[in-house]
Structure 1
């Protein structure tokens, strides 16, 4: 990795970026610059729009002129994903049109590179689509979670889908295997979540009275002797929300090394489970001037096999 100092530059906002928040715009324009520094230069007034100071939530208008101050950027040596990864991603495409791409993300593959990960889904897709002018993740899935992952092909679509996510106007359904007997009466978990950093540097999410409002809806699908298969609709989209809410209710997800139960995980490993049993099975979105789009990701074969073992 190397670093370089940029010069003052001026960018005129096009229709593609109109309506985007200035902080999100800067994240894409100043790749390699830490988010904390982006907010620092916003607060200090070094970033200006039409020669005036703006707040991080300012939404850009077509024709705005954005002043970017000199910043220290980190440049990474590009790493091309292995051919096997590219073939896996190619085979995982569930839906594609001129605006949107939805894949069935494999478990174990990060959505993007960074923090010791050389590459992820988005780098792999950009290698598969070298002529694409725009490819950006609409949302994220944990590395060990599989299932529906959306990638926008246009900035305008990215903004629309981000708005849907903010307004909880998108239906996402997950499948999870949890410890014990989940009560059919427990249909909602409404518990605020807050991110924490441990002394070791590990980031965890906890239920906390001062956390952000977080709501998950649960429905029992199938009961086993010591586990329950549930369908989960995360009404809000907080980091690790489903995993923490399930654990908070006393029913951690099978295979969860961060929030789970060690004995339960060990027992499920004996049943063949070698990953987190959390799968983004279905999503429904309504893009303007289109019929509602529903995309389903079939449950991966290793998870199907675990359920077969439990049924025996």
Structure 2
């Protein structure tokens, strides 16, 4: 059982959400338990109860209650060595403010129900002396490619400002069913991420959902598929996957919104994952005014699938 602690919020954590602050202070504690502590009122900020979405101010005093920590298993003091090495090799860029990762498919961006190690937990294990590491945005577990991690609270705020103003250009590569037209195919369909299908939460096109815009452009054409370059103007959950299916061109390997029979045919050609890859990120740095561009090559296992497809 950890002792009661009273932690003063530093300038570097100004504006941070209390749940993220606690996740950093209580390393190894699942996010679900952190939220439980907040709901029960065991966490106090300046002596008062606080909700999980509340933002902290420099100088606030956070009471962190006693927390029972699971006894560490032998060899479990940090992330698995193989996973740590995989992420170390996947770092595309790192400086004092920012880390850019080519996230592997199959790895969640953070821990959660049934997931002990996500990207952010592994990176914190790799950089134990880093005072601050936070996700700037997210990628689906099955999606690979460019992911931004802020190393300073000021950088996180700066990049969130860029995102709010629509200044972060995200591009993806997706193998979709059928042949896309020669001209760009825009899809504007509102998305409801709280819809349920057979008792499972899913994302559906709905007039009551949030606005979402994607543009699909064909890059390579095959007999029954198209490699699409996808630009998204919004970052909704499962946006590309739902928009692609809505347009009649589901993403290959998508076991939730895709075509089951087509997926089976592609599996015979070597596809073992969702064919969706965040290929590049670009924005103008508000501080310097310079453009920043990062690119992640299409993974070898996806290029192998393309090589096995029949050419048009």
Report the TM-score when normalising by structure 1.
Answer: 0.82
Label 1:20 to 1:283 Cα distance change in 2 as closer, same or farther (>3 A): same
Task: Give the drift of 1:242.
Answer: 0.9
Secondary structure in structure 2 of the residue aligned to 1:204 = strand
Task: Give the drift of 1:293.
Answer: 1.2
Task: Give the drift of 1:310.
Answer: 2.0
Label 1:288 to 1:185 Cα distance change in 2 as closer, same or farther (>3 A): closer
Task: Give the drift of 1:140.
Answer: 1.7
Answer yes or no: is the 8 Å Cα contact 1:174–1:278 preserved in 2: yes
Task: Give the drift of 1:276.
Answer: 0.6
- 1:15 and 2:11 matched: yes
What is the CA–CA distance in structure 2 between the aligned matches of 1:298 and 1:114, rounded to whole Å?
A: 28
Residue number among 287, 304, 307 corresponding to 1:289 in the alignment = 287
| Residues paired across the two proteins, number | 303
- 1:194 and 2:193 matched: yes
Answer yes or no: is the 8 Å Cα contact 1:193–1:213 preserved in 2: no
Label 1:165 to 1:37 Cα distance change in 2 as closer, same or farther (>3 A): farther
Q: What is the match of residue 310 of structure 1?
A: 309
| Deviating more after overlay: 263-272 vs 11-20 | 11-20
| Deviating more after overlay: 91-100 vs 81-90 | 81-90
Q: What is the match of residue 128 of structure 1?
A: 126
Consecutive unaligned residues of structure 2, counting only runs of 5 or more, are none
Residue number among 143, 160, 164 corresponding to 2:158 in the alignment = 160
Answer yes or no: is the 8 Å Cα contact 2:191–2:203 preserved in 1: no
Following superposition of structure 1 onto structure 2, how do residues 174-213 of structure 1 map, counting pairs within 5 Å?
A: 174-183=172-181, 184=183, 186-198=185-197, 200=199, 202-213=200-211
Label 1:113 to 1:185 Cα distance change in 2 as closer, same or farther (>3 A): closer
Q: What is the match of residue 240 of structure 2?
A: 242
Consecutive unaligned residues of structure 1, counting only runs of 5 or more, are none
- 1:90 and 2:88 matched: yes
Task: Give the drift of 1:102.
Answer: 0.8
